[in-house]
Structure 1
Amino acid sequence: MKVFGITGWSGSGKTTLMKALIPNLTARGLRVSTIKHAHHRFDVDKPGKDSYEHRAAGATEVMIGSANRWALMHELRDDPEPRLDDLIARMTPVDLLLVEGFKTEAHTKLEVYRAAIGKTMLWKDDPRIVAVASDADVPGLALPRLDLSDIPSIGDFIIAQSGLAGAS
């Protein structure tokens, strides 16, 4: 399974890019899954739902299944936050696993950058960033710059970087 990351600061457009990339890549015949880094206090469950009540009662894991999908929730309680490799190991193998966020983890990444958010660029301090997707020119950029609105070209770049050129 090939792993490729989309990284950048909050508000840069990572999720918007992911939402456009997934159908672009799956239309090429690739099986794609994703892992997204979330804020510390996120929850996919709601008080009052049976699954929430099971976790609140102390269950370490709760699995919900239906004819359409299943989901597994695992409570960390006092355990440390899992590393990206630990999460990847739990995934069903696919052609391409897109990772959103996880700035400090060691995987090949594309940085999403918008000058308007006023943050420093990440590529200067992360040799695993291989290109920048931006909505404007980036002075002094020593990596390929991709147009943030050109989803097919970004898809081509990810496929080439991931060694999947013959798979699509």
Structure 2
Amino acid sequence: MTQTHDSRLRVVCLAGPSDAGKTSLVEALVSRLAADGRVATVKSIHHDIEIDTPGTDTHRHRTAGAETVVGVTPALTFDITTRGKRDPPASDAPLLEADDPESQALASVLERLARRGYDTVLVEGFAGAPLPTILVGDREPSAVGGPVVGRGGEPIDDLVDTIRSLEGIEYAPGDESGA
């Protein structure tokens, strides 16, 4: 069943301690939810890493001062934006109310994904975000910012049905030129 794209983005966080199985659960959910429409994932990384190899042209563009660099290969397109959790971009109409910089950064990413036409976003991490959350491993409901809608030990079919039933976040569809 293919879902027609509308102005609602289903988003669910997967929260739990390291090595609890969040990534494996994301993999299983993505493969099932892709039958419904376009699926994107967002991964919270708690330490700085270098994702762009020093010396490459895209790295040189970024270190020269470009706020966003887009790379296009024969098989992939990627973008690197210098605004992360420490300095998230501002939004005129954020998709979620967020007081902390980490959730503001997530709101900015979700806004870009919504404008790009995604139907569902699985967020690994960002436990404090005010979004529906699936708890994985030993995580108490009080440790997350959104309502708990499932647990990682539930049957995958039940979790997929839960995600499919989420109301979604409303956004104003538009072009991707502002992202």
TM-score range, shorter chain: 0.7 to 0.9
Instruction: Report which of the two structures shows the higher radius of gyration computed on alpha carbons.
Output: 1
TM-score (norm 1): 0.73
Indicate yes or no: 2:172 matched with 1:153.
Answer: no
Which residue is 1:137 aligned to?
none
Cα distance between partner residues in 2 of 1:19 and 1:98? 10
1:41-60 counterparts in 2 under 5 A? 41-60=48-67
Letter in 1 for 2:75: N
User: What stretches of structure 2 of length at least 5 have no aligned partner?
Assistant: 1-8, 89-100, 169-179
Please tell me whether the aligned partners of residues 128 and 143 of structure 2 are also in contact (alpha carbons under 8 angstroms). no
Secondary structure in structure 2 of the residue aligned to 1:22: helix
- Greater alpha carbon shift after TM alignment, 100-109 vs 71-80: 71-80
Structure 2 match to 1:36: 43
Q: Is the counterpart of residue 131 in structure 1 residue 154 in structure 2?
A: no
Partner residue, 2:109: 87
What residue identity is the alignment partner of 1:110?
A: I
Aligned to 1:66: 73
Shift in CA distance, 125/76, structure 1 to aligned 2, threshold 3 Å = closer
- Residue in structure 2 matched with residue 75 of structure 1 by the alignment: 82
- How far off is 1:163 after superposition? 4.4
Partner of 1:110, secondary structure, is strand
Q: Secondary structure at the match of 1:86?
A: helix
Question: Which of the numbers 89, 113, 135 marks the counterpart of 1:111?
Answer: 135
Matched residue pairs, number? 142
Which secondary structure does the structure 2 equivalent of 1:40 belong to? coil
Q: Secondary structure at the match of 2:42?
A: strand
Partner AA of 1:123 in structure 2: P
Tell me the SS of whatever aligns to 2:40.
strand
Name the amino acid aligned to 2:82: E
Gaps of 5+ in 1: 115-120, 135-145
Instruction: Determine helix, strand or coil for the equivalent of 1:42.
Output: coil
- Indicate the percent of aligned positions where both proteins have the same amino acid: 29
- Counterpart CA distance in 2 for 1:14 and 1:41 is 20
When structure 1 is superposed on structure 2, of 87-96 and 65-74 the one drifting more is 65-74
Q: Please state how far the C-alpha of 1:14 moved relative to its aligned partner.
A: 0.7
Q: Quote the Cα distance in structure 1 between the aligned partners of 2:68 and 2:167.
A: 36
State the Cα RMSD in Å.
2.3
Separation of aligned partners in 2, 1:31 and 1:58: 32
Question: What TM-score, normalized by structure 2, do the two folds share?
Answer: 0.69
